[in-house]
């Protein structure tokens, strides 16, 4: 027996369509949530800055990112600016942090122990040529809206966490 589409079939189909459209409208805005940030923060800037530091600027060899050069790291964090010239690090350590990183926002770069909190742990202290220095650089009082990116790094065989804060 052949029958045509009934009112019940039409109602069920229309109901399923309306529910599907409602679900799409309910969940599509959450797909863009990571990119909807406050005016002062930027996850892309923080992430790219962390990649630039660990992949080329402070890397001992670009083929092995996250293995930081001890001399370039010491020069960047202010232990001895002449180390950066001797190691050919590609930056002038006396320049402001934003200029070195190519960032037009406030930025803080800190190296912390892996076991410490990425955002509130104390910075690591190291010694180069008998000079103690702390691995932190940049503004230290972030705004209320701050974006954080971190990378696991290795300096002379010791593992640390490099944290970049941008606001």
Residue-wise pLDDT tens digits, 41-96: 578 888 999 999 999 888 888 888 889 988 888 888 876 666 555 567 888 888 88
Separation in Å, CA 130 to CA 51, 80, 127, 133, 145: 30, 11, 6, 10, 38
Average pLDDT over residues 3-12: 82
d(CA 73, CA 160): 12
Question: Does some domain include residue 109?
Answer: yes
Torsion sign, CA atoms 63, 68, 74, 78: positive
Could you give the CA distance from residue 48 to residue 149 in angstroms, rounded to a whole number? 9
Total of domains in the chain: 1
Q: Would you say residue 31 lies in a domain?
A: no
Q: What is the pLDDT of residue 161?
A: 93
Instruction: Give domain status of residue 100, yes or no.
Output: yes
Does 28 reside within a domain?
Answer: no
DSSP code string of 44-64: HHHHHHHHHIIIIISBS-TTS
**123-152 pLDDT, tens digit each:** 888 887 777 888 889 887 766 778 889 999
Higher pLDDT, residue 37 or 32 = 32
**Is the Cβ–Cβ distance between 165 and 108 less than 8 Å?**
yes
Burial class (CB in 10 A: 0-12, 13-18, 19+), 20: exposed
- Which pair of tokens denotes residue 160? 């640390």
Task: Note whether residue 17 is domain-resident.
Answer: no
pTM of the model: 0.70
- Which pLDDT score is estimated for 144? 73
Position 15 in a domain: no
Mean pLDDT for the stretch of residues 32-42: 58
Main-chain dihedrals φ then ψ at residue 163, nearest 5 degrees: -115, 130
The range of the structural domain enclosing residue 150 comes to 38-166
- pLDDT bracket for residue 16 (50, 70, 90): very high
Evaluate whether residue 80 is within a structural domain: yes
| Domain assignment present for 121 | yes
């Amino acid at each position: 027996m052949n029958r045509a589409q009934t009112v019940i079939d039409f109602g069920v189909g229309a109901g399923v369509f309306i529910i599907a459209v409602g679900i799409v409208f309910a969940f599509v805005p959450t797909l863009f949530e990571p990119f909807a940030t406050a005016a002062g923060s930027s996850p892309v800037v923080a992430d790219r800055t962390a990649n630039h530091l660990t992949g080329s600027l402070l890397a001992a060899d670009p083929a092995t990112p996250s293995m930081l050069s001890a001399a370039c790291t010491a020069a960047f964090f202010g232990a001895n600016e002449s180390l950066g010239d001797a190691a050919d690090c590609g930056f002038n350590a006396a320049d402001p942090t934003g200029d070195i990183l190519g960032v037009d926002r406030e930025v803080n770069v800190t190296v912390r122990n892996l076991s410490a909190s990425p955002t509130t742990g104390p910075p690591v202290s190291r010694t180069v040529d008998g000079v103690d220095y702390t691995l932190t650089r940049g503004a230290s009082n972030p705004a209320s809206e701050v974006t954080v990116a971190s990378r696991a790094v290795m300096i002379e065989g010791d593992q640390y966490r490099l944290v970049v804060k941008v606001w």
